[in-house]
A and B are shown apart, each in its own frame.
Chain A
């Protein structure tokens, strides 16, 4: 019995004789779809975080898609891991939600058993380790997760929230001003960079109300360019998931507060 090798996409571009060429010849190239008949995987889309005067605002749309199908518009992509940690998931929810569950349990277990919270660097690395453990799935092109993380740095005075972003293999980076991930992140990143450089106020100077309005408008714009990003439409009771991280804890911005922030 023979089986035909699966079609290999053009990217990533390889140089003849290099390691990627070898993977492509063996039909195991990274990000390749190895089974033509495999079910279309569910993906979650646009999330971002930025610093504002009151802390860090983390936002995400609520849409999950599979190919050109909208699976649901009620996904919560911003997850409270503990009192001072937020995770924004982008990628495959099946893997991402399990990562969140592992982190929630391990952070709480550590805090309760050791009678002190886990440090911010340890939390950041815990997520990086999960991403590295997910490497086989990432290389197969299924189960890829590219999250954002926000936590409070207690080593500075006063304590301050920090934003981190990752690559699919687990490399971790601290974001100075903002970070975004998912299919609509290009639009979001451009606007955030523009606002950071030329905006008045810059995101870092925004009040709570200004930051919430800005975040909702960002998602609305991203949804105009990316069909996989759910928009924000108060008339249809369609909102985003917004959470604010301050040293004192996490605060959720509910639908009513979002509607009010969008009111003229």
Chain B
């Protein structure tokens, strides 16, 4: 039946709908470029299932979706990055090439093979640079499409509209914020609001509503925080941040 173009389009539409349905309860993840480094935050279910991962010296990943599919893509990214680093040099590992010439094609192929399982996960990949404005933040979708931006904020959420509204809200909320702890507070608040309301389009400023500040840690959930340190020193920039209660008041520059 898929030999007919119309049938194929219909099958792809059904598949897209199926994947979105599977991802609808996924927990959003965030990435923020700050002067001293790049911050990644995800809030998972705990129990040994993670959402935030180190890929290579300057590259990290956060994801939502099925743990087995996240793992498959994570392994593919780590394999490709280390192969490149060993064959050439660690400095030659580039997120742009890793996504554009590796992961994107593999995920697209999985999505379009109608009689095999698609990747039930969506991704946020980041690469720290020497200055914040050159950091690379890539949003990679379940069908292999991706959007890259330099510096700023990136969000991965199950619903595209929610994702856009969250990114806009965070742009405002994090304007002028340079401290890591303050940024963590805002990101946790964004996550909590998304869980409650589903969208941040009509939400007020962070911490504006008394009593509405996010709980710490979110009940029954495990916040995961990673930091890609900027600057000289050790080649591996990834650090796991142990959770400490952040300042939950309005962010301070």
Contact = CB atoms under 8 A, between A and B. Distances in A.
22 contacts: A83-B234, A83-B236, A101-B86, A102-B86, A105-B82, A105-B85, A105-B86, A108-B82, A108-B236, A109-B78, A109-B82, A112-B53, A112-B54, A112-B55, A112-B56, A112-B78, A112-B82, A113-B75, A113-B78, A113-B79, A115-B50, A115-B53
B89 to A, nearest CB: 10
Nearest to A101: B86
Task: In the A-B complex, list the 7 residue pairs whose CB atoms are closest, starting with the nearest.
Answer: A109-B82, A105-B86, A113-B78, A112-B54, A112-B78, A105-B82, A113-B75
Contacts of B79: 113
Contacts of A83: 234, 236
Interface residues of B, number: 13
A83 B50 CA distance: 23
A109 B79 CA distance: 8
Contacts of B50: 115
Contacts of B85: 105
Interface residues of A, number: 9
A116 to B, nearest CB: 12
Interface string B212-242: 0000000000000000000000101000000
Interface in A234-254: none
A208 B86 CA distance: 35
Interface in B80-109: 82, 85-86
A40 B169 CA distance: 67
Nearest to B75: A113
Contacts of B54: 112
Interface string A27-42: 0000000000000000
A144 B55 CA distance: 34
A102 B53 CA distance: 23
Contacts of A108: 82, 236
Nearest to A82: B236
B92 to A, nearest CB: 13
Contacts of B86: 101-102, 105
A108 to B, nearest CB: 7
A113 B85 CA distance: 15
Interface in A100-120: 101-102, 105, 108-109, 112-113, 115
Interface in B1-55: 50, 53-55
A129 B75 CA distance: 25
